[in-house]
Chains A and B, each alone.
Chain A
């Protein structure tokens, strides 16, 4: 990897050893890459390899198990146990459902806001751009704390208002937990996605819209036929980010748990893996982490590939 970069000039002059200055360049490049490579290997690759390694073992107890356990090779045993565990499967399914509903809602909202900001006749553009983006500027945990007070039974002004018009609403009941979390995510991330889409809109050459307008195209049709297709790469990118973000769902439910004790300690896959660590079952935690990572990778990468293939046929 480190030698790959300076190759082209060397190939251009095949028979002889590369001259001094090229080799010096290679050394310089290697020196620049080394800090990254070391950190990448140590902080990123090594933990992944170690996690996969750990997931292949299990601790073994005898009888009452009150003395120190031994570690034995388990093959894929931990994976079978994890996938066989209804609680872990439930956490995967729960997050998948939250993602399937929340990601499209958030991205449609982000797209709509970006198009409005991009429209010619929108007033106070700078103000709205900042206002929409502001929730993202707030640390996610702070936003989650704020929302947890807004939905907490006994404190929630929303519940109180609903009660006022004769509606019984508990935003932390078992059925409302997922929509409440979806709402927190949408509130926090719509502005961020809007900004990515908006900068893609800004990059569209003005002549395209102008030409369409001169042909009598309405702003709505310009948006639909010109702008949206042009920002497709931005939409794909934000979708991939959102899928990965949803798979890693942790902050919002963790904070919400303080006001909603019915939110179980294995609510999301990361909760479930952490639960295993609490139970001192590092091997099971490793297996569950790998499963989550593989699924998140398959979903985001699969979506990317699918969209690219569709892009080619268009």
Chain B
């Protein structure tokens, strides 16, 4: 007991206390722990262990980041018994860096920089230090019921948000129990919609943070969705909730704007409708100059306190670039690789039976050049995404208006940053 207390007390100022990685010297293989939640990661780890007898990785399934996984990781770092490797989304990496929870692996990783799309490398490199290997990017698309679109007279999926609004009205007026889409409460899905509109949430100027969650560009996006919501044209099931999938399976919700990694999740959640779905590009604001959104993408990060950072970096880079690992991750996890060599992986051209035999990655590939790569995440994303998730929840239950919610999230975010002692503009 006493040692545990002392161990906790000393962290925060320095993170040199022990980690699960056992010493590299001496006999026996190096053992590394890896915490994550994405389906398919365990298989990639198994592939690595087979070909690398000297470095054995153990994959532990945790709750997803937003559902407590990140809290568990941060607590473990504070307690000095964190795993060497962890799945951390790009959106949360700056928060982890601000918490001192990451280990600088620049010296082991910088040689591999050229293997990745430049902007994904920027997502794992904060203030000149690289903390992990990018795994994937997460372009968004419209996943829709091809059969039911035809039934309600939608001959081609909406290409613009104006068409989306018109189709939403068309469907709902044809049958008041049916909706084109769902207005959920997932903050990062909403962030993807803002990303598409060029509505940055965070920026840095000089040595200060700039928070622009309540900007005019964000208000445009908020106004559009509040408009549909106020007209009752969207269903209001919580994101990723059983009620959502129940409504989708019953044909009450016809589409979802979601990220590439959602394609296998949807497929396993509404199995009974297999073959009826298709993937189309995300509706855009300006058909002449299409821009698409990104919802997620994550890294294999090395956590503070890892004694075998070199081996950890080696594994992380391998998992993101090795063709057998990528084939597995594309098939099972539904990733769109961050490694440029991964874009030629044959798994990306495999027809998907759930989506009627469509080669769905073609859609995401075509979107990639039109995704803003300058998006920057803030250092208090857990708080900001919690507050936005709360706000979206009150909007979908009709207890608040989305444009006003953005103002609340903006002021709470600035307050949280100030509380942490960060310098923030306009606060």
Would you call B382 and A69 a contact (CB within 8 A)?
no
Give the dominant DSSP class at A's interface.
loop
Q: Which of A29-37, A58-66, A296-304 is the contact stretch?
A: A58-66
Contact status A173-B397, CB under 8 Å: yes
Closest-by-CB residue of A relative to B11 is A71
Which B residues are in CB contact (< 8 Å) with A174? 394, 397, 399
For residue A264, which residue of chain B has the nearest CB? B390
Contact: B98 with A65, CB < 8 Å? yes
- A278 adjacent to B70 (CB under 8 Å): yes
Is A101 interfacial (CB 8 A cutoff)?
no
Shortest Cβ gap from B186 to chain A (Å): 10
Within the complex, the shortest CB–CB distance from B103 to chain A, in Å, comes to 10
* Count of interface residues, chain B, beta-carbon cutoff 8 Å: 52
Interface residues of B in 278-320 (CB under 8 A from A): 304
> CB within 8 A of B380: which of A58, A81, A154, A279?
A279
The reply to whether the CB of A281 lies closer than 8 angstroms to some CB of chain B is yes
Q: Give Cα distance in the complex from A265 to B392, angstroms.
A: 12
Q: Which A residues, 269 to 290, have Cβ-Cβ distances below 8 Å to chain B?
A: 275, 277-282, 284
Is the beta-carbon distance between A46 and B1 smaller than 8 angstroms? Answer: yes
- Please report which residues of chain A, range 185-220, place their CB below 8 angstroms from some CB of chain B when the two chains form the complex: none
Whether B204 and A64, one on each chain, are in contact in the complex, defined by CB atoms closer than 8 angstroms, is yes
User: Would you give the 0/1 interface string for B387-400, flagging 1 where the beta carbon is closer than 8 Å to chain A?
Assistant: 10110111011111
Let me know if A64 and B386 touch, CB within 8 A.
Answer: no
Inside 8 A of B393's CB, which chain A residues have their CB? 260-264
B421 within 8 Å of A (CB atoms): yes
A5 close to B (CB within 8 Å): no
Residues of A within 8 A of B75 (CB): 277
Residue among A58, A65, A71, A81 with most chain B CB within 10 A: A65
Tell me the bound Cα distance from A265 to B409 in angstroms.
13
CB distance from B309 to the nearest CB of A (A): 15
In the complex, A259 Cα to B243 Cα: how many Å?
A: 9
Complex interface: chain B residues within 8 A of A66 (CB): 94, 97-98, 126-127, 379
Chain B residues with CB under 8 Å of A58's CB are 421
Q: Mark B58-71, 1 if CB is under 8 A from A, else 0.
A: 00000000000011
| Contact, CB under 8 Å: B420 / A61 | yes
Judging by beta carbons under 8 Å apart, are B185 and A282 in contact? no
Contacts of B98 in A (CB 8 A): 61, 65-66, 69, 280
Nearest A residue (CB) for B78: A282
B175 at the binding interface (Cβ < 8 Å): no
User: A308: CB under 8 A from chain B?
Assistant: no
Within 8 A of A (CB), among B191-250: 204, 207-209, 238, 241, 243
- Interface membership of A50, Cβ < 8 A: yes
Contacts of A50 in B (CB 8 A): 5, 8-9
Q: Does B383 make an interface contact (CB < 8 A)? A: yes
Decide if B350 is an interface residue (CB 8 Å cutoff): no
**Which chain B residues lie closer than 8 Å to A53 at the CB level?**
9
B420 close to A59 (CB less than 8 A): yes
A183 on interface, CB distance cutoff 8 Å: no
Set of chain B residues within 8 Å of A284, measured between Cβ atoms: 419
In the bound complex, do residue A265 and residue B70 qualify as a contact, i.e. CB atoms below 8 Å apart? Answer: no
Chain A 16-33 interface mask (CB, 8 Å, partner B; 1/0): 000000000000000000
Residue in chain A with minimal CB distance to B397: A262
B27 CB–A CB distance under 8 Å: no
Q: Whole-angstrom distance between the alpha carbons of A43 and B12 in the complex?
A: 23
Task: Give bound CA distance, A54 to B387, whole Å.
Answer: 25
A74-87 interface code vs B (CB 8 A; 1 in, 0 out): 00000001000000
In the complex, besides A174-B399, A259-B238, A261-B389, 5 extra interface pairs with C-beta distance below 8 angstroms are: A62-B421, A64-B207, A262-B396, A263-B393, A275-B383
Q: List 23 A-B contacts (CB under 8 A).
A: A50-B5, A63-B208, A64-B208, A64-B423, A65-B421, A66-B94, A68-B15, A68-B99, A70-B13, A153-B397, A259-B238, A261-B392, A261-B393, A262-B400, A263-B393, A264-B390, A264-B393, A277-B75, A278-B70, A280-B74, A280-B95, A281-B419, A284-B419
- Tell me the B residues contacting A by CB distance below 8 Å: 1, 5, 8-9, 12-13, 15, 70-71, 74-75, 78, 94-95, 97-101, 126-127, 185, 204, 207-209, 238, 241, 243, 304, 379-380, 382-383, 386-387, 389-390, 392-394, 396-400, 416, 419-423
